[in-house]
Amino acid sequence: MSLLEPLRLAHGPELKNRLLLAPMTNNQSNPDGTASLDDLSWIRLVAAGGYSMIMTAGANVQRNGKSFPGQPGIYDDRHLDGLTEIASIIRGAGSISSVQLHHGGVRSLGGEYGQPYAMSPATGARQMSTAEVEQLRDDFIAAAVRAKRAGFDGAEIHGAFGWIISMSLSPIANRRTDKYGGDLEGRSRLLFEILHGIRQETGPDFQIGLRLSTERYGTSLRDLRDLAEEAMRREAIDYLDLAPWDVNAIAVEPEFENRPVLSIFTELDRKQTRIGASGKVMTGAQASSVLKAGCDFVMLGRAALLEPDAPRLFAKDPHHQGPETPVLYQYLREQGLSNAFVDYLLMDHPALVARGWL
């Protein structure tokens, strides 16, 4: 199967190829979460890059879930104008648009944004009441409806990396005794209520994705696999977005030891659900090998930062190799990334960018 083949999802418009832009925090939105000029110019840049789907940075669905000072928000109608502009830039470029829906939970900023909470008490965060879990569910759903009103083709639930949904799945981080805790069914209840609520409120054309981590953050591979299988069985999602940070990761948990992590999910009876992954894909040939391993699509993260038009470059030459990392600050500025974005990368991704001469 070729990277350039279109991909049909169970709902909504077809993707024109198999290369999607991974969700990436840019820390450049306005402090109130509305889109900044830097947000719009980044979207214009990647919209010209040839991705079949462009996903936004994780956008917080509640004020107190904000986890980066420059994180985009999607919890209030004041965010609609910017979101509408982003969706229309993406559509204008012939790509599909998706907003990633996020809540930071215990890792939220707190302070002026409101007190952080978590599924179970943790340092700096109190335990949510059952009513608050239900409110969070409703706010995820409301955020997806807002994305649809803004013209987005879909939304992805951020269930990875230890943020609130990922924590709710973990028996270590979620020790609740109400219906949102306990066995896997209880711990995934919040997620499934969100997924079903979004489908109900957004209708048959809206594309719903789910991002999961693999082998970290306290949820076993067995549970993650069973959860993915259940989502496929219920046709609750259009696509499963696996985030192992390395598409060639090998499982270490005894039950799956030495098996490629992706295979644990690609061997499931996926029905209408599409499966994709991101992690250290830096060339077209590497992206093709992810399809050969059984995935339907590949997401590009760091390759897109180094070369925002990576899909076009990969299409021309599958062995095209981007620059060696770390690149200099000025290099990323010349690619069109904003000062705020590159400053954030310097802080959080020092292997990617070095300060160099300013």
The site for ligand FMN (CB under 6 A) is made up of: 22-25, 57-58, 100, 158, 160, 211, 243, 245, 278-281, 300-303, 345, 349
Q: Which residue is nearest to ligand FMN (CB)?
A: 301
Phi, psi (rounded to 5 degrees) for 300: -110, 125
Distance separating alpha carbons of residues 20 and 346, to the nearest angstrom: 24
Q: How near is the Cβ of 178 to ligand FMN at its closest, in Å?
A: 27
E strands in the chain: 19-21, 53-60, 96-102, 117-118, 126-127, 154-159, 207-213, 239-243, 274-277, 297-300, 327-328, 353-354
Nearer to ligand FMN, 188 or 283 (CB): 283
Nearest to 218 by CA among 259, 163, 148, 156: 163
Distance separating alpha carbons of residues 216 and 223, to the nearest angstrom: 12
Q: How near is the Cβ of 40 to ligand FMN at its closest, in Å?
A: 18
Q: How near is the Cβ of 25 to ligand FMN at its closest, in Å?
A: 4
Phi, psi (rounded to 5 degrees) for 136: -60, -45
Distance separating alpha carbons of residues 328 and 332, to the nearest angstrom: 7
Nearest to 22 by CA among 156, 151, 145, 144: 156
Nearer to ligand FMN, 133 or 165 (CB): 165
Nearer to ligand FMN, 181 or 341 (CB): 341
Q: How near is the Cβ of 68 to ligand FMN at its closest, in Å?
A: 8
Nearer to ligand FMN, 251 or 303 (CB): 303
Q: How near is the Cβ of 63 to ligand FMN at its closest, in Å?
A: 18
| DSSP letter assigned to residue 2 | -
Nearer to ligand FMN, 65 or 301 (CB): 301
Q: 111: which 2 tokens?
A: 């302070």
Q: 172: which 2 tokens?
A: 């270590």
Q: How near is the Cβ of 141 to ligand FMN at its closest, in Å?
A: 19
Q: 348: which 2 tokens?
A: 């959080």
Q: How near is the Cβ of 242 to ligand FMN at its closest, in Å?
A: 9
